[in-house]
Structure 1
Amino acid sequence: MQVTIHAAKTNLSKLIEAALAGEEVIIARGSKPVVKLVAIAKPTFEIGILAGQLSGPAPDFFEPMSEEELAAWEGA
């Protein structure tokens, strides 16, 4: 999908969602493409001692804990 800078300013949230869904988003100045909007790959992790045995998406430490996890941390 190609959009102008003005349209990109107006619809930035929708363009980000499109990029996250895997769509190629090009922002153009007039009719000349100048920028490609792409999603950043979520990092994975490996633990040294168990290299190759444990891998997957990295934990997101900024996500709120579930009620069960919070209760476990608070000793309930």
Structure 2
Amino acid sequence: MQQITLDEATKDLLALIEAALEGEEIVITKDDKPVLKLSPISPAKKSWPAKAGSAKGLVTISDDFDEPIADFEDYLQ
């Protein structure tokens, strides 16, 4: 982990960004207190295209799924 003051960071921001992109953690301090951390954003996982059958066995539907709900019988007539 590299710690650098805010004043130093403003002078060398491009190099700090490159270091962060290579995996180095950069902490920027102001008045001897950490205020910022530079780190790369991890790429989002691709969820598409989905594979057919990838949820097999994870989803179940009850046998009475399409049966009328007893509480709504008055509204179904």
- Range class of TM-score, shorter chain: 0.5 to 0.7
Normalising by the residue count of structure 2, what TM-score does the alignment of the two structures yield? Answer: 0.58
Aligned length, in residue pairs: 52
Structure whose CA Rg is larger: 2
Q: Which residue of 1 aligns with 2:16?
A: 15
Deviation of the 1:48 alpha carbon:
4.9
Higher strand share: 1
What stretches of structure 1 of length at least 5 have no aligned partner?
A: 54-76
Hey, what's the Cα distance between the residues in 2 that align with 1:38 and 1:49?
Answer: 30
Could you list the structure 1 runs, at least 4 aligned residues long, displaced by more than 6 angstroms after superposition: none
TM superposition shift of 1:44 = 2.7
Q: Gaps (5+ residues) in structure 2?
A: 55-77
Letter in 2 for 1:9: T
Deviation per CA, 1:20-41, whole angstroms, max 9, x where unpaired? Answer: 1111100001321111111111
Give the match's secondary structure for 1:44: coil
Distance 1:32 1:49, change over 3 A: closer
Alpha-carbon RMSD across the aligned residues, in angstroms, is 2.0
Normalising by structure 1, report the TM-score: 0.58
| 2:29 corresponds to | 28
